[in-house]
Structure 1
Amino acid sequence: MSDDAPSDAERKMQFLFQLRQKGVTDARVLTAMEEIDRGAFVRGHFAARAYDDMPLPINAGQTISQPSVVGLMTQALNVQPRDTVLEIGTGSGYQAAILSHLARRVYTIDRHRNLTRDAELAFTKLGLANITVLTGDGSYGLPDQGPFDRILLTAAAEDPPGPLLKQLKPGGIMVLPVGQSDNVQMLIKVTRTESGLDYDELMPVRFVPLMEGIARD
């Protein structure tokens, strides 16, 4: 390492500064993102960019989302310590790892077996024992484990999937990208109230589409 290269502490400070600049202000979310090393979920020659606020390629043609988007989605989800959370789209496992610091239990599901396998290995190395990883069709959720306090989708659907809405507890929150194309998507927050469902638009985003079935990896 050259004398000009930033130390790990400096990189972490810069990382958190970038998050705050983008609007991630919740102290619990920032603490979780400080404690979970994004570098543990970025492999190969992209590892050097683990602390950049940008999406990066991972296996199966997927991406690890940029940290500020992960932070803002987590912040919108407003996870409480006793909550059970369902994540649709494990991807690298980075988002689930952060959720595990905020919730009592996290269930995460992905249609790519190689992604769930790699994520499970990363969780084991980090000692994250409150995450259950499953390979399957996330568009149907996990009815046997529901209902859930919080549901997070990391893939875009045309509309909030009905099976997932049914698995959301009263008072529960779902955060997901919605859009019919890769170019026009909106992150929305759905809250189940006594009178029905409330919808709030949060910000424009770009995510891979939500796909049905299990991938042939």
Structure 2
Amino acid sequence: MELIFATNNEHKLHEVRELMSGYGITVRSLREAGCNHETVEDGLTFRDNARKKAVEISEILGKPVVADDTGLCVVALDGGPGVYSNRFAPKGLHCEKLLEAMAGVTQRDAYFETAVVCVFPDGREYYANGVVEGYITTEKYGDYDFGYDQVFFVKEAGKTFGEMTIEEKNGYSHRARAFSAFVKILEGLQAEGE
């Protein structure tokens, strides 16, 4: 099975290809599919944004498309940055801006959430999500500096995402959990002959 992943983000693409490689699913980026469409992410939820991307790209390409939206939700920031996580700070400055916003705050609980939506050209839609709980550290840890990874401490792992290898991260991450749930949906569809 081939799916178009509605992204050109090389980090996300690599992570998702790793997650889906053992299931006989070929994942192609928008660029590889010859599509340069940019979806405006103006939904109120992660699911809204993922669905919008998947629907738009599936309509353009006439192929099955999977899309995700991910964000960091911090209790002390009323769930923010949430759907605005990517736009919360200029690229490369997410950790710094979050640490600044959290200065002096003792309630540091947070979670990452990923919503995955797959849309087929015939209109079928499937949804899965994944969550990982943790808290925001008071400083950056680790060498892996994608997004908020260096300041998000994963409780069950005992360290930040920034301190993990990609293989380790895939064992705990919200995206891995969402795509794992999504793969189970696809396996069910394949078993039914769809």
TM-score where L is the length of structure 2: 0.29
The one of the two structures with greater contact order (alpha-carbon pairs below 8 A, sep at least 6) is: 2
